[in-house]
Chain A
Amino acid sequence: MIRKIHAVLPHILFVLLIYLILQPSLEGTDEYWALLAVVVAIELALLVKRKSLVAADIGIIVFLFLIVWEYLTAKAGVKNPLLYPAPENVFAIFPEDYEKILEGVASSLRLMFTAFGLALLFGVGLGLIVGLSDRLANTVMPIVRVVSPIPPIIYSPYAVALLPSFRSASIFVVTMTIFWPIFMNMVLGVREIDRKIMDSARTLNLKKSTMILQVLLPYSLPGILNSVSVSVSTSFLVLTAAEMIGGTSGLGWYIKYHADFANFTKVIFGIIMIGIVVTLLNALLAALKKLLIRWR
């Protein structure tokens, strides 16, 4: 019985929310359609996942939040609309501003992917070189343990001064955030590979390149991918912070730019967009992990 109510509750809240939206003040405007679209999209997602209790819980929380938000801002009118924009106004930013937003997302993502590419290239490459030599590893790793905990965002003022453009400075800082975990995992993978696997590989008389590509890399891949997924959120934080400090494009810049004009409607929308982008990135990475590490 309780279970049944539990499953129906989000849909009841959905109807309540729709009732709230249908109040005459909004009808027919862009804002009205934007809010309606978001709410219906969430309801559709819930209907697809209707077997899952967790989805129902999440639905309840999201709808409750939207009801309270909508009621307090648009209906009761208790707050200053400049500081506390109504949900319809926030969601309506997308049809109004989508070109700029998508451009911002694309710009942020391009920067992220460039940084990830560089970090993977250098992290795996240098990690292999250092990991394969006792002497190098013994020399380099104590230094790495001192340097790697320094938060890379600290380098940004200096990087801006040294590097030709703000964008390259951002790439450098974000790359550093992801580089360390990948590098450390690669060195660890090479140096602490299970001796039994190593013995087995050695008895096959592998060429060095085969040993690296077919044994050491696949062995280290799970560790590397784990460290990458941990650093996705951190690196996005670093990236948006960098964009806020001095970027001319990207989501961080979008938020900072509109905050300067006290357009908090757009600020809130930008924050929601960042949440969506990070979630999508994480989902992408999870899918990649599933694809590449089928063997565990």
Chain B
Amino acid sequence: MSKIDLKDIFLDYQENGHDFHALEGVSFSVENGEFVSIIGSSSCGKSTTLNIMAGLYEPKSGSFRIDGVETRGTGKNRGVVFQHYSLFPWMTVKKNIQFGIRQNFPGLSKNELSNKAQEYLEKVGLRGFEHKYPYQLSGGMQQRAAIAKTLAMETDILLMDEPFGAVDAKNRVILQDLLLNILDSTDRKKTVVFVTHDVDEAIFLSDRILFMNRKKIEREIPVPFERPRHRERLALNADYQQLRRKIVDLFYYDEEENLHELEGGAGI
């Protein structure tokens, strides 16, 4: 049995009184402990798919199962990291993390709560920033705190919606390494679904990449490289370059097709 299982998920949205399809039959599954990235160009439906898994959207039809159980709505078995506002601006970094922990472990004493928050704060390298408010941190540090908060909730499943999308290139690489290090060092294997439009990021992090296009999963691409992975060594690997080319081509292939359609349309 797969950890996560989506079958024929459809979702519509309304704009100006018209119905549009947001998802048209999304199906895939994620095994326990697997790291899967969903990749695709803007508005292909990747974030929408993640929001379905987070329980923020209700699918119009189709089946969404976790551990074989049909699931609707949010749940304590899933933690979500967003691109922005994973932290509440009115709480300090540590308060944010404690707030997250308290929702999943209501029985903890004040001390235990503080210790647990501190432990995860230090894991993401934010010692000394406990009492800062989010606006006082850089984008990269905010995302560190967001990761600490979500990890501290100790959910089986981690859903990440372009978490490093608004971070500069250098910090993005640092955060990717940090994420992999933490995931490798935890005893209980987490199941991760990670949405991105960055091909290198997807390959470096994932066991498998799902390429989304036109509101459904179009390709599944396994990433065969052994862990732990080293960025520099990977970049020199011929297989890596080939895989990278293959995925980049997927993006362009579709764009060409779209162009043809546009030209054809204009002729009529």
Which residues of A are in contact with B by a Cβ distance under 8 Å? Answer: 194, 196-197, 199-206, 210, 214-215, 218-219, 221, 293-296
Contact = CB atoms under 8 A, between A and B. Distances in A.
Contact of A203 (B80, B87, B133, B135): B80
Nearest to A197: B85
Which of B51, B84, B85 has most A Cβ within 10 Å? Answer: B85
Interface stretch (B6-14, B71-79, B115-123): B71-79
10 contacts: A197-B85, A197-B88, A197-B89, A200-B87, A203-B56, A203-B79, A204-B153, A205-B74, A219-B90, A221-B90
Contacts of A219: 90
Nearest to B133: A295
Nearest to A292: B90
Q: Which 8 A-B pairs have the closest CB atoms?
A: A196-B85, A203-B80, A218-B90, A295-B133, A295-B90, A204-B103, A197-B85, A200-B85
Nearest to A217: B90
B78 A203 contact: yes
Q: Helix, strand, loop or mixed for chain B's interface?
A: loop
Contacts of A205: 74-76, 103
A221 B90 CA distance: 10
Given A295-B90, A295-B133, A203 B74 contact: yes
A295 B79 CA distance: 25
A77 to B, nearest CB: 61
A240 B99 CA distance: 46
Nearest to A215: B88
A295 B89 contact: yes
Which of B87, B100, B103 has most A Cβ within 10 Å? Answer: B103
Nearest to A201: B88
Given A203-B54, A203-B56, A218 B88 contact: yes
Contacts of B134: 295
Interface string B45-69: 0000001001110000000000000
Contacts of B84: 196
Contacts of B91: 295
Q: Helix, strand, loop or mixed for chain A's interface?
A: helix
Contact of B82 (A200, A218, A293, A295): A200
B90 A194 contact: no
B86 interface: yes
Contacts of A210: 103
Interface in B79-107: 79-80, 82, 84-91, 99-100, 103
Contact of B135 (A196, A199, A201, A295): A295
Contacts of A206: 103
A194 B135 CA distance: 16
Given A199-B56, A295-B90, A214 B133 contact: no
B133 A294 contact: yes
A199 B82 contact: yes
A219 B75 CA distance: 23
Nearest to B77: A205
A195 B87 CA distance: 13
Given A199-B51, A204-B99, A295-B91, 16 more contacts: A197-B88, A197-B89, A199-B85, A200-B86, A201-B88, A202-B55, A204-B100, A205-B75, A205-B103, A214-B99, A215-B88, A218-B90, A295-B89, A295-B133, A295-B134, A295-B135
A202 B56 contact: yes
A282 B92 CA distance: 28
B55 to A, nearest CB: 7
A29 B268 CA distance: 101
Contacts of B135: 295-296
Which of A205, A210, A214, A296 has most B Cβ within 10 Å? Answer: A205
Contacts of A295: 89-91, 133-135
B83 to A, nearest CB: 8
Contacts of B153: 204
B90 A196 contact: no
Given A205-B75, A295-B135, A200 B88 contact: yes
Contacts of A200: 80, 82, 85-88
A214 B88 CA distance: 9
Contacts of B78: 203
Nearest to A199: B56
Contacts of A296: 89, 135
B157 to A, nearest CB: 11
Contacts of B51: 199
Contacts of A197: 85, 88-89
A204 to B, nearest CB: 5
Nearest to A221: B90
B76 to A, nearest CB: 6
A196 B82 contact: yes
